[in-house]
Structure 1
C-alpha cells in the first residue's frame, strides 16, 4: 500500500510514526512516497483512485481545491489525513509545552542548533542568539491578541521552519527575500528533519497528549488496509 505524503518533511515524519506504531511496516507492504507538493499530491491521489490502487494520503490544507479534496476523502475515508488548516509545522509546533521548546530547537546531531537560533535572531532583528534572550524579546513583542497559552517563540519558530518571508519584505527583491525562505532548511524541511520532529513529538509527550487522538484514525486505517480487498472501483473497471 502506497502512502503519499505531501513532501519530504511529511515522509520523514510518517516513517518515524510508523516505525513506532507499525514496526516492520516496509516488510508489511507499506511504501511512503513524496507527493511533491500539495497540487501534485492531489493530482496523484486522484489518478490512483481512478486506477483502483490502494493508497493513503497525508497532506496540508492550503485552502484550495476543497471540492476535489472532499471527493478523494469521500472515497477513501480515514486513509486521507488533511490538517483542518495550514501545514504540519503550523499544527504540530504549537503543541509543544513551554518547557520542551528548547529541546525542539536543539539539533540532536549538534550541527543545526546555532543556525536555528540565528534564523530566529535574524527575524527579530537582534544579535543575541541565546534562547533566553530570544524568549525575552519574543515575550516583549507578543501582541495582545496572540495566544498566551504557548511559548512566545512559537510563532517565530513556525515562520522560520516554514521559510515564511516577513510581510515587510513581501515585495522586496529576491536577494532580500530568499535568505528568509532558506531558513526552513535549518529546521525540518527534509526527510531527516521530519523524522527529528516526529521523534520529538514522542519524547516531549505531544504524541500522547495531543497527536495520538488526532492521527489515530489515520494510523489505524493504514494498518487495516493490509488485510483489505482491492477497492470496488478497480473491481468494476477490471470486470
Structure 2
C-alpha cells in the first residue's frame, strides 16, 4: 500500500465540503463476491445474452432463476469488508453524503450507510410483471416453483421479476437523477472498485469533474478514465480506505 497516496487521499477528504462515493464490483470482491466479468466470474459460465437480458427474462425467466440459484448463496453469506465500513464511517462523521453503487449486494446498507443509491437495483425485492405487486426476497423464494424455480405471483400467476436492472432494461429515472445530482453537486468523488466500463454509471465522474470537483480513484487495476483522476491509488479498497 502506498502510504503517500493514502495520506494525500485523507487530506483531500478533509478539505472537501461535499463528498460522494461511486462503487463497483471491485469493492465487494473482498467480501467473496466475484466480479461478474473477471475470469471465473458469472458471465464466463452463463451467457449474458441468454441469462442476463430483459428480453431473455421475459421469454425464459427460468434461465435467470437458474443463475440466481448459484448467486444467491454468495449474496446471503457475504459480509461487509473494511472498505464498506470505512465509507459508512465517513458518512457518520459528516464527510460522505451518500454512496452511489452499481452493486446489488446490499453490503453498504449492512455496513451502516444511510443513503445508498442503487443504480442497478437490488436482489432483495421483486415485483409481479403483470399487476405490479411487490415481494420481498423471502417471499420470492417461498413462491419459487419446484418445476422451474420461477417465482410467480399468487394473485395472477404472472412471473415475479427481481428488482435488478438487466441488460437492455432502462435504469430507474429517479435513481439516475439522484445519482447525477450527487455527482454534480459534490466537490470530491471517491471512485472505488469501478472499472468504469458500464454506462451511465461510468459518466458520473465526468459530471463531478466538469463542475471543478476532484476525483480519487481507488482500484486494483487501471481504467480508461484514469487521466481524469486527481489522485490514483492502486490497491485493495479494504486496505486503503480504512487507513
Q: Which has the larger radius of gyration?
A: 1
TM-score where L is the length of structure 1: 0.28
TM-score where L is the length of structure 2: 0.28
The structure where helix makes up a greater share of residues is 1
> Which fold has the larger relative contact order, with Cα–Cα distance below 8 Å and residues 6 or more apart in sequence?
1
The structure where strand makes up a greater share of residues is 2
